[in-house]
Structure 1
Amino acid sequence: MNNAWAIPHRDDRRFSAALFDLDGVLTPTAEVHMKAWNRMFTDYFAKHGITPQYTDEDYFAYVDGKPRYDGVRACLASRGVVLPEGSPDDPAGTETVCGVGNTKNDAFEAILHEEGVEAYPGSIALIDHLEKLGVAMAVVSSSRNAPAVLEAAGLAHRFEVVVDGNVVAAEGIDGKPAPDMFSLAAQRLGVADQDSVVVEDALSGVQAGAAGDFGLVVGVDRGAGVDALVDNGAEMVVTGLEELIGQ
């Protein structure tokens, strides 16, 4: 196998591609998303008298890693709230799933503008390593903001293939926890799923990897917990991507 990546402690198995989630894997924008979801749902629940109040546990259980509107729908359903689906064009504040999701997106853009974002040093180290090896790389993110985040973090030029929430909508494929986004990314890289490594920090992301026929599913523990990542499909768990630098 040309341009092969050997991951430490994986029995000399070699891989041709890395399929990275973005938020929480390459950049700490998972924290920005968490703040945006918290801001939006805390205000929404208070306005409508919805209980119990929104917490970070809700983020990991219902929202993390999913397409935006799926996260809205799941979290509201956990409180017995069902809204009309609406349209992606619904203005923020509209009483629809899409309107609530667009309110969250406005909050995300505001926080990103206020705080900016820098890639994790360990993630940059792995990207540099894989580039030297000639290993193909793609970003696979449920967020429609992935291009803006990559640009803000100075990573846009490092990835020719980005499969994000915009691609999901355009191609009509299923988002995470289905494996379709990762399979499409591997296809666009010209690499078989079996020769690709999925790198994810979200439970829905490792579920997506486990649901496909990928060579390896790596969980990155940024708060979801080692046991939860393994239980949902991660075959190994690291705390930083520098741990994946091999031969």
Structure 2
Amino acid sequence: MKYKGIIFDFNGVLLWDAPFHVQAWQATALRLRGSPLSDNEFSIHVHGRTNSHILCYLSDRTPQGQELLELIQIKESMYRDLCLKNPEMFVLSPGAEALLDFVSSKDIPRTIATASEKTNLDFFTQHLGLDKWFDLQRIVYDDGALPGKPAPDMYAKAAGNIGLLPHECVVVEDAISGFQSAHAANIGHIVGIGPLETHNRLLGCQGVSTVIESFEQFPRELLVNA
């Protein structure tokens, strides 16, 4: 089976930045509820989720308006500061640039569907040069207009943004909520990415067909024109 396009999650996929998010969210959790997040809470309520969902979970209520914006920016400012202080880690993940160069050279439709908000997307574009490979207008991010993952909306919109139906696309994800979102959107082929010791767990997630450790192992033969 060949697929016409590819949609990437960003955090944990194109950018291996989990330690920065973990540190920033743990500080936020301590401030809001006085206790850290467990690994299980990260898996279910943090990785792949929108800021608004995580902050609602941590505060056990629904922050809105200016309060929500301020809470988001406190956490994200901390995260961005960690990125800049660790330049050796603030780079695209292994094999990502080569794959992006390849799909660009083959004119394979591509975009990103991320739970990141606009401030972070602009930050990534500035420092990582995303506009070299992506039409920024086609990237789907958390602008508050769509339900976040695990709802199917972000991946359904991302497919439409590159002129394809969801079943014509490959998605690369690392988070349970992302797998659920891609599966619910009827994505054609879901690739899970993560360390080798996580592969059995990833393959057990609904809809995941292939698992890789890095983009160096990405099966390019999945794509039309590859």
1:38-94 per-position Cα deviation (integer Å, ceiling 9, x unaligned): 222234443xxx4xx3344432221000111112223x2xxxx5224221x22xxxx
How far is the alpha carbon of 1:99 from its aligned partner?
4.8
3-state SS in 2 of match to 1:165: coil
Q: 1:83 aligns with which of 34, 58, 61?
A: 61
For structure 1, the residue ranges without an aligned partner over 5 or more in a row are 1-12, 91-96
Q: 2:113 aligns with which of 119, 122, 140?
A: 140
- How do 1:50-199 residues align onto structure 2 when only pairs under 5 Å count? 50=35, 53-74=36-57, 76=58, 82-87=60-65, 89-90=66-67, 99-116=70-87, 117-144=90-117, 145-160=120-135, 161-166=138-143, 169=144, 172-199=145-172
% same residue: 24
How far is the alpha carbon of 1:33 from its aligned partner?
1.7
Q: Normalising by the residue count of structure 1, what TM-score does the alignment of the two structures yield?
A: 0.78
Letter in 2 for 1:66: R
3-state SS in 1 of match to 2:12: coil
How far is the alpha carbon of 1:181 from its aligned partner?
0.8
Q: Is the 8 A contact 2:146 2:154 kept in 1?
A: yes
How far is the alpha carbon of 1:223 from its aligned partner?
8.7
For structure 2, the residue ranges without an aligned partner over 5 or more in a row are none
Q: Taking CA–CA contacts closer than 8 Å with sequence separation of 6 or more, which of the two structures ends up with the larger relative contact order?
A: 2
Q: Is the 8 A contact 2:96 2:215 kept in 1?
A: yes
Q: Is the 8 A contact 1:179 1:211 kept in 2?
A: yes
Query: Structure 1 residues 137-146 or 108-117, which shifts more?
Result: 108-117
For 1:34, the equivalent position in structure 2 comes to: 22
For 1:204, the equivalent position in structure 2 comes to: 177
How far is the alpha carbon of 1:236 from its aligned partner?
1.5
For 1:225, the equivalent position in structure 2 comes to: 198
Report how many aligned residue pairs link the two structures: 214
Letter in 2 for 1:204: S
Please provide the CA RMSD for this pair.
2.2
1:185-209 per-position Cα deviation (integer Å, ceiling 9, x unaligned): 1111111211101110111111111
